[in-house]
Amino acid sequence: MFRNRRNAQRRGGSKNEGELYALTDLAEGEKGIMVKALGGFGLVRRLAEMGLTPGVEVKLLRKGSFGGPVEIEVRGVALALGRGVASRVLVKPSKDEHHD
């Protein structure tokens, strides 16, 4: 069992192109391109059905406190993903991202 899974090596900041990050590493408001989801067959399929397929742009809307879930926007819909689930979704930096 890994309840309080910590996965916060890097939060936001500039990212190197080509490198992969967990969805949870994005800062609030930051966008990324979904690369792949790690995990069981069922989970990966469910995520794909909800619109999280490789190549799609995702935007991190907010992160819950104390390792809570994250809310993302994908294909015009807001989804809540548990932290464990979100940390298994790998993204790369979005090209048209504006640094502000």
Partner 1 sequence: MSIMTKELRVALAGNANVGKSVIFNQLTGLNQVVGNWPGKTVERAEGTLHFKGYAIRIIDLPGIYSLSTFSIEEIVSRDYIAVEKPDIIVNVVDASALERNLYFTLQLLELEAPIVMALNQVDYAAKKGIRINTEKLSEILGVPVVPTVAITGSGINELLTTVIAVASGEKKLQPLKVKFGVEVEKRVKKLQELVQRRLPQLCEVYPARWVATKLLERDSDVAGKLKNYEGGTEALQLAGKLAAELEKLHGEPSPVILASERYSIASKIAKEVTIVEAPPRISLEQKLDAISTHKILGYPILIGAILAMFSLIFIGGSLFSGFLESFFGNIILHIGNALAFLPSTAQSLITEGVLGGIVAGITIALPYIVPFYIILALLEDSGYLPRAAFLMDNLMHKIGLHGKAFIPLILGYGCSVPACLSCRIMETQRERLLAAFVVTLIPCAARTVVILGLVGRFVGLHAALAIYIFDLILIFILGRIAFKVLPGEPVGLIMEMPPYKKPSFKGVLTKTWSRTKDFVYVAFPIIVAGSLAITALNITGFINYITAGAKPLISGWLGLPVEAGVPLIFGVLRKELALILLSQLIPLESLSALQMIVFALVIMVYIPCIATIAALIREFGWKKATAITITDITLALLLGGIAYRILLILMPS
Residues near partner 1 (CB under 8 A): 1, 3, 36-37, 41-51, 53-56, 62-69, 71, 75-82, 84-85
Q: Which is nearer to partner 1, 10 or 36 (CB)?
A: 36
**From the CB of 86, what's the least distance to partner 1, in Å?**
8
Q: Which is nearer to partner 1, 14 or 41 (CB)?
A: 41
**From the CB of 100, what's the least distance to partner 1, in Å?**
16
Q: Which is nearer to partner 1, 13 or 42 (CB)?
A: 42
Q: Which is nearer to partner 1, 2 or 14 (CB)?
A: 2
> What are the C-alpha distances in Å from 64 to residues 14, 28, 29, 58, 83?
22, 11, 14, 17, 9
> What are the C-alpha distances in Å from 40 to residues 5, 18, 77, 88, 91?
18, 25, 24, 10, 18
Cα separation, 63 vs 52, in Å, equals 18
**From the CB of 19, what's the least distance to partner 1, in Å?**
18
Task: Please list, residue by residue across 15-27, b when 16 or more beta carbons sit within 10 angstroms of its beta carbon and e when fewer do.
Answer: beeeeebbbbbbe
